[in-house]
Structure 1
Amino acid sequence: MTPDELRTFCLSFNDAVEEFPFTPETSVFKVAGKLFALTALDRRPLTVNLKCDPEMAVQLRAAHPEIVPGWHMNKRHWNTVTVDAGLPDRHVRELIEDSYDLVVAGLPRAERLRLDRP
């Protein structure tokens, strides 16, 4: 997955936006004002921080050396995924979608319904 593909996929979700609250190099992808992905698209290797169910996070880290505890994030709920280190693009897309879904699940019901994600 290229940086452009990563950006395009993150922005493909309902109400997803890209912001730069930290530095011009750090893309923060949000839904309804809540972060679901954070990356420096011009950095190599390309990595992305993604929200993850705590139990699943531990399993993913054990199964894939490309997935480690979230850099500068709550390590219980966030993973850092090295995108260009051998994980299939399909798997990376699933992890991004899971992160988006977890964030949306924490939104108020009216907001979830607006996003068409009951």
Structure 2
Amino acid sequence: MHIEDVRNYCMAKKGVTEEFPFDEVTLVFKVMGKMFVLSGLERIPSAINLKCDPERSAELREQYDGSITGAFHMNKLHWNTLILQDLPPKLITELIDHSYDLVVSKMTKKLRAELENLE
């Protein structure tokens, strides 16, 4: 999976925007203003950071040793880095969905209602 595929997948989700809030090479996808995917566009090989449940995060790091690691410059308990070329696309999209769902689940009731009402 390439970063363009990740971008297309993320942008098709409800309430998602893309931004460069940190610098011109760190692409961030947000749902209702909350980050759920980050990617350093200059990184070789291509990688993304995703939010993840801590228990699942530990299991994934063990199962995909070296291809899924604690996210650089992020809370490693809650964020993973995925090396895109090393992982099956189905797993990547599943983990993007997981990150999106975790972020949505932590939103206020009002923000979740706004998201629900988007077309």
SS in 2 for 1:6: helix
Distance 2:88 2:116 in 1: 28
SS in 1 for 2:111: helix
Q: Which residue of 1 aligns with 2:74?
A: 73
Root-mean-square deviation over aligned CA pairs: 1.4
Give the TM-score taking structure 2 as reference length: 0.91
**Which runs of 5 or more structure 1 residues have no equivalent in the other structure?**
none
SS in 2 for 1:21: coil
Aligned length: 116
Matched AA of 2:33: G
1:47-66 to structure 2, matched below 5 A, reads 47-65=47-65, 66=67
Matched AA of 1:111: L
Task: Decide whether the 8 Å contact of 1:67 with 1:82 is kept in 2.
Answer: yes
Q: Which residue of 1 aligns with 2:89?
A: 89
Q: Which residue of 1 aligns with 2:32?
A: 32
1:115 Cα deviation from its structure 2 partner: 2.2
Distance 1:98 1:62 in 2: 18
1:43 Cα deviation from its structure 2 partner: 2.5
Matched AA of 2:64: H
Task: Decide whether the 8 Å contact of 2:71 with 2:80 is kept in 1.
Answer: yes
Q: Percent identity?
A: 44
Distance 1:4 1:32 in 2: 21
1:60 Cα deviation from its structure 2 partner: 0.5
Greater helix fraction, Structure 1 or Structure 2:
2
Give the TM-score taking structure 1 as reference length: 0.92
1:42 Cα deviation from its structure 2 partner: 4.2
1:51 Cα deviation from its structure 2 partner: 0.2
1:112 Cα deviation from its structure 2 partner: 1.6
Q: For the structure 1 residues 39 and 7, does the alpha-carbon distance in structure 2 shift closer, same or farther, using more than 3 Å as the test?
A: same
Q: Which residue of 2 aligns with 1:43?
A: 43
**Which runs of 5 or more structure 2 residues have no equivalent in the other structure?**
none
